[in-house]
């Protein structure tokens, strides 16, 4: 199973903390509403409640979120993934063993989690069988947050995949580590790394990075978009299906890319003009272009179109995105929060919750989470 989700750094300072909502699969308590395994077809609030949530990220079967007071909370499948020094599944949010009130950004991989503090230090916990925690060694799992082997206090953004991780420092350098099958680390070979190394592309102008189970994508400060790794469904967007062990630009080119998200062999990105583009695997409508074509090899705009897209994220076979008007849109299959189970949507539709106060959304493997601000929608509470 791969990792299909992203947490974006570039929006963090704009997010206004408020209510946290979750929906979709709940087999391991990943919805955080003190129930399991009951799935929810419409958004519900977590058991922790509160109106001070800032940022959320989803893994395959777990969720992590930061509050405006800087505390970090985790719930769902465990085996060290929750960082609370236990192996027990938690169906309600719990704080990490490390505690503290200075957490800034968190990213969930399939079975590991990494987070950055306001002091710029980078921490990781959970499965480490392929060195994805960057600790200089490999172990079954680590139950409490530890710093990476690279250390330092200048980390800016982190993204976790299935068994890989990537992060950008304040100086603009891009670092990668973990399993390197299909060349997903972008270091011009397939040797796995248990400590952070820079990509083959190098440079000090990286802005945002995301990683999936088998490939990565990143945006430069010059607005160019780069991809590398596995490409069997054309998820690199370079009009081929050949894997690449070094970063390549997408076929669409351009110097106005703003944010990118990697999914289960499907990729989406937003340009500075507010347009949303997607490519790669689309058998469940996750490209959003009103088709089930698998292997869209160059970026295409979603059927919904528009020039006011703000943030996009991917789950297993579905996607979600917010617009600048505060609306939340979903497409693909499973966990869509549209009040129906197993329905496929070939292009973006609004959630059952509706509303215009959505700030940030995160997709896990089979569930979603989102933060709202302002007056909470009440017509869908269950």
Domain extents in the chain? 12-16+60-311
Q: Please, which pLDDT band fits residue 101 given cuts at 50, 70 and 90?
A: very high
Tell me how far apart the alpha carbons of residues 321 and 314 are, in angstroms, rounded to a whole number: 9
Which stretches of the chain are DSSP H helices? Answer: none
Model pLDDT, residue 42: 87
Q: Are 103 and 70 in contact (CB under 8 A)?
A: yes
* The pLDDT of residue 354: 78
Instruction: Determine phi and psi for 13, rounding to 5 degrees.
Output: -70, -15
Pair 275, 255: CB distance under 8 Å: no
Q: Helix or strand or coil: residue 142?
A: strand
Number of H helices, E strands in the chain: 0, 28
Give the separation between CA 33 and CA 147, rounded to whole angstroms: 30
Q: Find the mean pLDDT for residues 161-186.
A: 97
- Count Cα neighbours of 236 within 13 Å in the Cβ-side half-sphere: 25
Confidence at residue 374, expressed as pLDDT on a 0 to 100 scale = 56
* Rounded Cα gap, residues 194 and 74, in angstroms: 24
* DSSP for 61-102, written as a single string: SEEEEEETTS-EEEEE--TTTT-SS----EEEEEE-TT--S-
Q: Give percent of the chain above pLDDT 90.
A: 76
Q: Rg of the chain's alpha carbons, rounded to an integer?
A: 18
Q: Does the pLDDT at position 376 exceed 70?
A: no
CA dihedral 322, 323, 328, 330 (to 10 degrees): -70
pLDDT bracket for residue 7 (50, 70, 90): very low
Q: What is the pLDDT of residue 80?
A: 95
Contacts of 336 (CB under 8 A, 6+ apart): 24, 318, 330, 343, 345, 349, 351, 368
* Residue 145 contacts residue 96 (beta carbons within 8 Å): yes
Neighbours of 319 (CB within 10 A): 31
pLDDT for res 93: 93
- Whole-prediction pTM: 0.92
Q: Strand pairing partners for 269? A: 260, 277
- 124-146 in b/e form (b: 16+ CB < 10 A) is bbbbbebbbbbbeeeeebbbebb
Query: What percentage of residues in the chain have a pLDDT greater than 70?
Result: 93
Distance CA 277, CA 332 (A): 15
In the predicted structure, residue 363 carries a pLDDT above the cut 80: yes
Whether 98 and 83 have beta carbons less than 8 Å apart is answered as: yes
The mean predicted confidence, pLDDT, of the chain is: 89
CATH 3.30.1180.20 fits 12-16+60-311, yes or no: no
Per-residue pLDDT tens for 83-92?
A: 999 999 999 9
- Tens of pLDDT, residue by residue over 118-149, are 999 999 999 999 999 999 999 899 999 999 87
In the predicted structure, residue 97 carries a pLDDT above the cut 80: yes
pLDDT band at 340 (very low <50, low <70, confident <90, very high): confident
User: What does the pLDDT read at residue 36?
Assistant: 83
**Beta bridge partner(s), residue 312:** 321
Residue 303 confidence (pLDDT)? 76
pLDDT digits (tens, 9 = 90+) for 248-307: 988 777 899 999 999 999 999 999 999 999 999 999 999 999 999 999 999 999 878 799
Residue 253 burial (CB count, 10 A)? 11
The DSSP-derived string for 199-259 is: -TT--S-EEEEEE-SSEEEEEETTS-EEEEE--TTSTT-SSS---EEEEEE-TT--S-EEE
Would you state the pLDDT for residue 239?
94
CB-based burial, 346-377: b 16+ in 10 Å, e otherwise: bbbebbbbebebbbbbbbbbbbbbbbbbeeeb
Is the pLDDT confidence value at 382 over 70? no
Question: In this predicted structure, what is the pLDDT of residue 355?
Answer: 87
pLDDT higher than threshold 50 for residue 5: no
Q: Rounded to an integer, what distance in angstroms lies between the CA atom of residue 335 and that of residue 89? A: 21
CA angle 245, 191, 226 (to 5 degrees): 25
Residue 169 confidence (pLDDT): 96
Distance CA 217, CA 235 (A): 10
């Amino acid at each position: 199973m791969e990792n299909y989700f992203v947490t974006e750094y570039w929006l963090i300072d704009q997010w206004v903390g408020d209510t946290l909502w979750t929906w979709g699969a709940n087999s391991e308590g990943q919805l955080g509403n003190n129930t399991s395994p009951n799935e929810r077809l419409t958004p519900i609030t977590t058991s922790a409640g509160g109106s001070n949530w800032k940022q959320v990220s989803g893994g395959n079967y777990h969720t992590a979120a930061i509050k405006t007071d800087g505390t970090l909370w985790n719930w769902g499948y465990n085996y060290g993934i929750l960082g609370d020094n236990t192996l027990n599944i938690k169906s309600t949010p719990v704080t990490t063993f490390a505690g503290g009130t200075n957490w800034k950004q968190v990213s969930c991989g399939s079975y590991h989690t990494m987070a950055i503090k306001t002091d710029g230090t980078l921490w990781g916990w959970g499965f480490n069988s392929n060195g994805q925690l960057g600790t200089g060694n490999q172990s079954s799992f680590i139950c409490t947050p530890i710093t990476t082997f690279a250390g330092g206090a200048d980390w800016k953004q982190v993204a976790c995949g299935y068994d890989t991780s990537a992060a950008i420092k304040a100086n603009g350098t891009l670092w990668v580590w973990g399993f390197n099958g299909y060349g997903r680390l972008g270091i011009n070979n397939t040797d796995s790394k248990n400590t952070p190394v820079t990509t083959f592309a190098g440079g000090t102008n990286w802005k945002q990075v995301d990683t999936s189970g088998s490939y990565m994508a990143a945006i430069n400060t010059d607005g160019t978009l780069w991809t590398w790794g596995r490409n069997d469904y054309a998820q690199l967007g370079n009009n081929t299906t050949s894997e690449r062990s070094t970063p390549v630009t997408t076929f669409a080119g351009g110097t106005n890319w703003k944010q990118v998200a990697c999914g289960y062999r499907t990729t989406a990105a937003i340009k500075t003009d507010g347009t949303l583009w997607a490519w790669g695997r689309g058998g469940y409508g996750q490209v959003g272009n009103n088709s089930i074509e698998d292997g869209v090899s160059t970026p295409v705009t979603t059927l919904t179109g528009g020039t006011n897209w703000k943030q996009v994220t991917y789950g297993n076979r579905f996607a979600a995105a917010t617009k600048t008007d505060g609306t939340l849109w979903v497409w693909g299959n499973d966990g869509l929060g549209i009040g129906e189970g197993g329905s496929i949507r070939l292009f973006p539709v609004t959630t059952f919750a509706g509303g215009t106060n959505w700030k940030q959304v995160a997709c896990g493997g089979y569930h979603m989470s989102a933060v709202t601000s302002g007056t909470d929608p009440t017509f869908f509470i269950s």
